Amino acid sequence: MSKYVDEIRHAVTSLLPLIWDEYEALQDLEARLDGLRKQMEAEYGRAAWLALNAENAEDVGLATGMQWDAYWGPDKEHHDQSAALPDLQAAVEAHRFSVDALAAALIQYGKQGISAVHGGLVPSPDGRQIGNSQRLKNVVWQARNQALHWEDRSPHKPVAACFDALAAEVDPVFRDYTQRNMSFEIVKLLGWRSSGAFEADLLSLA
């Protein structure tokens, strides 16, 4: 396994930053949009409360002013962004596809290492425990198969058993295995943020 790890080191070292840079950029975008929506809701909420509880004309005028401020402030910015929403949604979907495709390539390197060294899943050492019932070798193997065949909507029993266990024992997000490529979720679960972490896991399967 150490020879195999040496051979793929350059590819893995190049791939990992791409995966995490794209993911973090997506997270930043979603956080900004979420913050803007919350700011809009808060501004309108304060104005609506004041209007409902107005005791005099001055309060009504203040509420009206707050509503205009909300429109010309964060809401106008949100409106401008909403005009480009279809393009933004398409870009986000393309970005997510890219993240999952890159993560699937990394998982493929892991699965190929098991195949190259041991000739299959069964002869390989188990590796570390994932959740309560899963082992590293099986998670890597089944994740690779899920990435290749999820669009069939009819996963093989070992894939279903693995992802059902992960959903029950680790994170419900893994229930989505018949709906989308779960490669990035697996990479995140395994903690593969650096080539060192990835290599350590592969070497544990030597």
Tell me the pLDDT tens digit for each residue of 46-70: 556 555 655 555 555 555 555 555 5
Is the pLDDT at 183 greater than 80, yes or no? yes
Is the pLDDT at 106 greater than 90, yes or no? yes
Is the pLDDT at 163 greater than 60, yes or no? yes
Residue 25 covered by a domain: yes
β-bridge mates for residue 22, sequence order? none
Residue 140 covered by a domain: yes
Is the pLDDT at 155 greater than 60, yes or no? yes
Residue 63 covered by a domain: no
Provide the domain limits for residue 90: 2-29+85-203
Whose structure tokens read 């024992």? 169
pLDDT of residue 146: 98
Residue 74 covered by a domain: no
Q: How many domains does the chain have?
A: 1
- Report, as an integer, the average pLDDT of 32-41: 66
Whether the CB-CB separation of 8 and 199 falls below 8 Å is answered with: no
Instruction: Give dist(CA 206, CA 199) in Å, integer.
Output: 11
Whether the CB-CB separation of 147 and 107 falls below 8 Å is answered with: yes
